[in-house]
Structure 1
Amino acid sequence: MAKFYPELNESLCHFIEEQKIFFTATAPKQGRINLSPKGRDTFRYFDNKTAGYLDLTGSGNETAAHLHSEAEPGTEGRMTIMFCSFDEKPLILRLYGTAKVIHPRNKEWDKFHLHFNPMLGERQIIVLDIDLVQTSCGYGVPIYELKEERKTIVEWAEKKGEQGIFEYWKEKNQKSIDGLPTNMFDN
């Protein structure tokens, strides 16, 4: 049975800390819905109503495009972040709210970035203002065991180097698959 909370509590924060994977979901006003898996110790909760993750370079930049397209001037776009237990104790945790994209050029970057371990290929930080927290049973989710973190993204970023990553962003990360701008290089 689902339970709802206005914010994170100590028990839910502890559950988040134990998870090795999370999923993000966004949708533009028109276009495709994006659902992405994330990992590599990139998620943080900053307080009971604010959470976020260090977004690493990927083949696209759908989340940023959706958050910008969904936003009215001066507001942020809708987002859901989901954690799911894959061990013996089943639980699904969803964080609902509005999110914004923070780039290294933004004044808020240092405030949030200090919570993360720096990683080559970090592209932006997505910050979620939580307006609802939901838990549900997760009884139908199979039990899995983490074997190890993939090294591919780290090796890819090291091989590309900073300039190569910047060129990749220019080529692959400026528009969504629906042609929406990501504002990767705009204010």
Structure 2
Amino acid sequence: MAKQFPRLDGLLRGFIARQHVFFTASAAQVSRVNVSPRSTRDLRILDDSTAAYLDLTGSSNETAAHLLADGRLTLMFCAFEGLPSILRLYGRGTVLPRGEAAYAQLLETAFGGAEPPGARQMMRLAIDLVQTSCGYAVPLFDFRGERENLDRWAAAKGEAELDAYRREKNARSLDGLPTGLFDGT
């Protein structure tokens, strides 16, 4: 039932475009496994072998720590509407720190220069394997809209308070691994 592909094709890209949520999974050899839900509004498929997403400020920064320590990253999409299907993108992730040239360039070219409140960094995935599976056990859900809570929270904090929050909560992972968020400062 599972099928593997070396890269994305038009059909698989179309499936991703219809989804509203995706999940990231990462781990380092000595860490807990982290799985996080994310909105596809912050995701871009750059080409058939590359994806990127804007990573927003949150209560921890596990993915960045895991990418720094190990590099493995998986993105998973599930069809909650329509025909059942699961799509996983496996590969190596890179953190693009906010304020650096690579971040600014990708923000401009892939996101039209629009940075949501609380943007912390960007994650780029070099895809080395694409896998689909049936998704028969995934329940059906109706999409009602994006939650605006995180955007409102970040906008109310402002840059100075967000920086202080990130320094307190996002500099190290739950397991004490460095996230690299403040390496340049």
**What TM-score results when the alignment is normalised by the length of structure 1?**
0.94
Which structure 1 segments of 5+ residues have no match? 71-76
Aligned to 1:162: 159
Name the amino acid aligned to 1:88.
G
Name the amino acid aligned to 1:85.
A
In the TM superposition, what whole-angstrom CA distance separates every residue of 1:34-88 from its partner, at most 9, and x where no partner exists?
0000016001110101101000000000000011111xxxxxx001000000012
Q: Take 2:172 and 2:98, find their aligned partners in 1: how far apart are those partners?
A: 19
Give the Å deviation of 1:184: 0.4
Number of aligned positions between the proteins:
181
Give the Å deviation of 1:14: 0.9
Aligned to 1:106: 100
- Asked if structure 2 preserves the Cα contact closer than 8 Å seen for 1:103 and 1:124, the reply is yes
Alignment of 1:5-16 (within 5 A): 5-16=5-16
Q: Take 1:172 and 1:40, find their aligned partners in 2: how far apart are those partners?
A: 24
Q: Take 1:158 and 1:2, find their aligned partners in 2: how far apart are those partners?
A: 42
Higher fraction of helix: 2
**Counterpart secondary structure, 2:41:** coil
Between 173-182 and 96-105, report the one with greater CA deviation. 96-105
Q: Take 2:182 and 2:96, find their aligned partners in 1: how far apart are those partners?
A: 11
Matched, 1:151 2:148: yes
Which structure 2 segments of 5+ residues have no match? none
Give the Å deviation of 1:120: 1.1
Aligned to 1:128: 125
Identity, % of aligned positions: 48
- Asked if structure 1 preserves the Cα contact closer than 8 Å seen for 2:81 and 2:142, the reply is yes
Matched, 1:85 2:79: yes
Tell me how large the CA RMSD over aligned residues is. 1.0
In the TM superposition, what whole-angstrom CA distance separates every residue of 1:103-126 from its partner, at most 9, and x where no partner exists?
123331122112123211000000
